[in-house]
Amino acid sequence: TAPTAPVVAISPASPSDAATLRAVISADATDADADPITYRYEWLQNGAVQADLTGDYVIGDRTAEGDTWTLNVYPSDGKAEGAPGSSMATVGNIVPTAPVIHIDPTAPVGGDDLTLVFATPADDANGDVLTQNIEWYQDGVRNSSWDGKSSIDGIYVDGGETFRAVVTVSDGASDPVVVEASVAVANTVPEITSVAISPTDPTDTD
């Protein structure tokens, strides 16, 4: 009697690009004759058998975004091979890493130029081309005339205002990654630098 099919799965169940795929047997095959059981692994990439892959894993440099991998695990009792346990997984997209940003200076005063600094740029492990959009908000209101700019001229920066930059990064495949940075502009107290009495030689009616 041929052994029964094992219960198998591909791990991870939702792999990303360049992930190593592993065969997991969650329930072993059984044999009515109590013969010892061995397994034969078969991997299919997009429906095509990969004859050189005979082990219980596929290394990451063989997996690419959009590929569908099928795993068949055939049980054998040394006399007959049973029906395989099967599993399937589709390689998905890796979401881009978010950039690390801040606005310089971090404690501005009125009249200071504001610059959006990318301390760490966004990155995409798949090598996808990234699009990056910058939006600016002044006291909570978006100013579309500043969209895409990396700096704001100090003539628009007054004490007591808050400026916020929102950066949206997309690889065209996954949901966009959104990060933001903001600064509050300190209000400078007016200061008298000099005082004088005029006329300098007043009479009793001046």
**Burial call 83-93: b when 16+ CB within 10 Å, e when fewer:** ebbbbebebbb
Asked if pLDDT for residue 174 goes beyond 80, the answer is no
Phi, psi (deg, nearest 5) at residue 60: -60, -30
Over the stretch 89-148, which tens digit does the pLDDT of each residue have? Answer: 999 887 889 999 999 999 999 999 999 999 999 998 777 789 999 999 999 999 999 999
Of 172 and 115, the structure prediction assigns the larger pLDDT to: 115
Residue 93 is predicted with a pLDDT of: 80
Grouping H, G, I as helix, E, B as strand and the rest as coil, residue 47 is: coil
CA distance 54 to 40: 7
192, burial (CB in 10 Å: exposed 0-12, middle 13-18, buried 19+): exposed
> Which residues on neighbouring strands pair with residue 179, listed in sequence order?
167
Residue 124 is predicted with a pLDDT of: 84
Predicted TM-score of the model (pTM): 0.59
